[in-house]
Amino acid sequence: MAQPDNIKILEVCHVSPVPSNSPDSAELAEFSLPLTFLDTFCFKFPPVQCLFFYHLPNSDPSLMSSTLSKLKRSLSLTLQHYLPLAGTLTWPPNAPKPVVLYKPGNAVFLTVAESTDVHYFNRISGDHVRQPCESRPLVPDLHVNETSASIMALQITLFPEGGICVGVTGHHAFLDGKSTAMFMKSWAYICRENPPFLVPELTPFYDRNVVKDPIGLDMLYLNRWLARSRSKQKVFDHWSETHEPSDMVRGTFQLTRGDIEKLKKRVSNHIKISKLEYLSSFVVTIAHVLTCMVKAMSSSEGEFRESTKAYFVVGVDYRARLDPPVPLNYFGNCVGSHLGYVQERDCFEEDGLAIVAEKIRCL
């Protein structure tokens, strides 16, 4: 990706996992993981990309330098617990499907950049409306070739007004959002505390035997992806995101606890309590967003297409929902998507929020 004029690349380096100073620490050995059906389902999905913004008390160069050094060192220590992230997605000869493989010496690509725009940090990290393309320079690309693809790439961007941004790009054939967040929490914990061990909830669980696949969905999903590939030489290329319209914008809209309670009350007024097992903040928030979107996209205020359906997809964490359930610290893809729809006219009803909330709750 070409860098804009306000972003200057300072360094591109490799950060390898290193053993900790603990007496129980062992030398890092080769490590591999097979893909489950939950991984092959996401095999060519666009990468998982996240931005994490951190304010610093000032923009003193010595503070920036010491912070960067601490981030690099703690990243190296964190990777000893997350070896697959330093590895690659590859397809060994005679293997039925790709694997995630770490070999001693493997590393994560880390880009260090600096913004030359004194207003960039506040503009990009705030809640106000902005164009999505403004944040693209803050996330790195994965390294992909004919034989392998990197699992993760990182970028640390320094801002002159006193802040840093950590951009994460993860291959979706191995990482879901929860796994990415778990890694970031571990990195932050080690950077802050420098502990000899990770706490249990941040210690990744890698055993793939807990994900049962008696009918071979892993190969079914994989073969479907391969059949859609334009070239056998581009096995590890992921889907490119569709072109974003030039008038598309992105903003953050905060709902307070009071806002959530008001939404729940509106829904509860139209749903019998005996029928309502549990009304979560997630359900009422998605219902509110969906009804607002349908109304905003209608041809004119108060008008709708009588027979038109509005479809929506809800992402679901399967860790506690599989039978049997898998550990909450399971590291890898363990998510799925559920499709639902509402009639467009329902969103304009007085009890439209409740109708949509019930649809989402019953998925």
What are the pLDDT digits (tens) for 336-359?
999 999 998 889 888 999 999 999
User: Are 187 and 288 part of one and the same domain?
Assistant: no
Supply the pLDDT for residue 162.
80
Average pLDDT over residues 7-21: 88
User: Are 226 and 150 part of one and the same domain?
Assistant: yes
What are the pLDDT digits (tens) for 266-310?
998 887 655 556 789 999 999 999 999 998 887 655 566 667 888
Question: Is 80's pLDDT higher than 80?
Answer: yes
Structural domain contains residue 217: yes
110 vs 13: CA distance, rounded Å: 5
End-to-end CA distance of the chain: 39
Structural domain contains residue 249: no
Supply the pLDDT for residue 130.
87
Structural domain contains residue 246: no
Question: Is 24's pLDDT higher than 50?
Answer: no
Maximum CA pair distance of the chain? 70
* Number of domain units in the chain: 2
Structural domain contains residue 248: no
Residues 29, 104 contacting (CB under 8 angstroms) = yes
User: Are 143 and 23 part of one and the same domain?
Assistant: yes
Structural domain contains residue 117: yes
Structural domain contains residue 242: no
User: Are 144 and 282 part of one and the same domain?
Assistant: no
104: domain CATH number is: 3.30.559.10
DSSP structure class, residue 130: B
> 234, 249, 273: which is the final residue of a domain?
234
User: Are 112 and 172 part of one and the same domain?
Assistant: yes
> Domain limits at 93?
7-234
More confident residue, 229 or 170: 170
User: Are 221 and 264 part of one and the same domain?
Assistant: no
In the β-sheet with 7-15, what is the strand arrangement from edge to edge? 7-15, 108-115, 152-159, 163-170, 48-55
User: Are 218 and 285 part of one and the same domain?
Assistant: no
User: Are 160 and 307 part of one and the same domain?
Assistant: no
Average pLDDT over residues 25-29: 66
What are the pLDDT digits (tens) for 179-219?
999 999 999 999 999 998 999 999 999 999 999 999 999 99
Q: What mean pLDDT value characterizes the chain? A: 89
Supply the pLDDT for residue 322.
93
Residues paired with residue 87 on neighbouring β-strands, in sequence order: none
User: Are 92 and 207 part of one and the same domain?
Assistant: yes
User: Are 99 and 202 part of one and the same domain?
Assistant: yes
Distance from CA of residue 279 to its chain's centroid?
Answer: 25
DSSP codes of every residue in 214-241: TT-HHHHHHHHHHHH-S-GGGTTPPPPP
Selection from 135, 136, 168, 165 nearest residue 151 by Cα:
168
> 234, 249, 265: which is the final residue of a domain?
234
